[in-house]
Chains A and B, each alone.
Chain A
Amino acid sequence: GENVEQHPSTLSVQEGDSAVIKCTYSDSASNYFPWYKQELGKRPQLIIDIRSNVGEKKDQRIAVTLNKTAKHFSLHITETQPEDSAVYFCAPSFSGNTPLVFGKGTRLSVIA
């Protein structure tokens, strides 16, 4: 099965700084790469995703980059704000026949 690792497990940044979270996966056939955000006491929500035929995708202050050769993809958050404080999960998948496998999460704290 797919092995997924996220680094770092915790991250503290000053407000306005950038944050980068990396997700490494084992299945070279994986073709779908989403990131979910879970605020304290709330449900996880998809914030951005990318497919294997695209190297980078941006949505305002967040971006995801994919390196298929090295089998990792990263979440980039620029100009961080206190509301970015949450746990972020990556969940790569191979196909519709296999479920998403979530990483263990990265707790991001943005210090005002």
Chain B
Amino acid sequence: KAGVTQTPRYLIKTRGQQVTLSCSPISGHRSVSWYQQTPGQGLQFLFEYFSETQRNKGNFPGRFSGRQFSNSRSEMNVSTLELGDSALYLCASSLAPSGGGYEQYFGPGTRLTVT
């Protein structure tokens, strides 16, 4: 089985721009979660989608949004980028919602740098 893929792998944007990141889950997985990883802060939960519905949202401003398509692929969007948005963005897929005890399979991440 192919693993979780994320595109692009690296991205450099300037403040005020917007960005869209993409995540393709493992075939058959219907749940996709997104995390922001920065040094010292660990993995901070952004949102989780299951069957095209957002199930949970983390404590991030409304500039962060996402969606899931019928084929379970997911995108996240960040508008009006700020320097503090520079981070590694990881997505993870699982058969069912993550909190139910299903293993999460992570993608390689997208490294976003905001200048």
Q: Which residues of A contact B (CB under 8 A)?
A: 31-32, 34, 36, 43-46, 49, 51, 89, 91, 93-105
Min Cβ gap B10→A in Å is 13
Contact A45-B106, Cβ < 8 Å, known A96-B96, A99-B33, A102-B45:
yes
Stretch at the interface among B21-29, B34-42, B75-83: B34-42
**Is B62's beta carbon under 8 Å from chain A?**
no
Listed residue (B100, B103, B109) with the most chain A CB atoms within 10 angstroms of its CB? B100
Q: Which residues of B contact A (CB under 8 A)?
A: 33, 35, 40-45, 48, 55-56, 58, 90, 92, 96-101, 103-104, 106-109
A-B contacts at CB below 8 angstroms, number: 69
B35 adjacent to A97 (CB under 8 Å): no
Contact among A43, A99, A102 for B99, CB-based, below 8 A: A99
Measured between beta carbons, the chain B residues less than 8 angstroms from A51 are 101
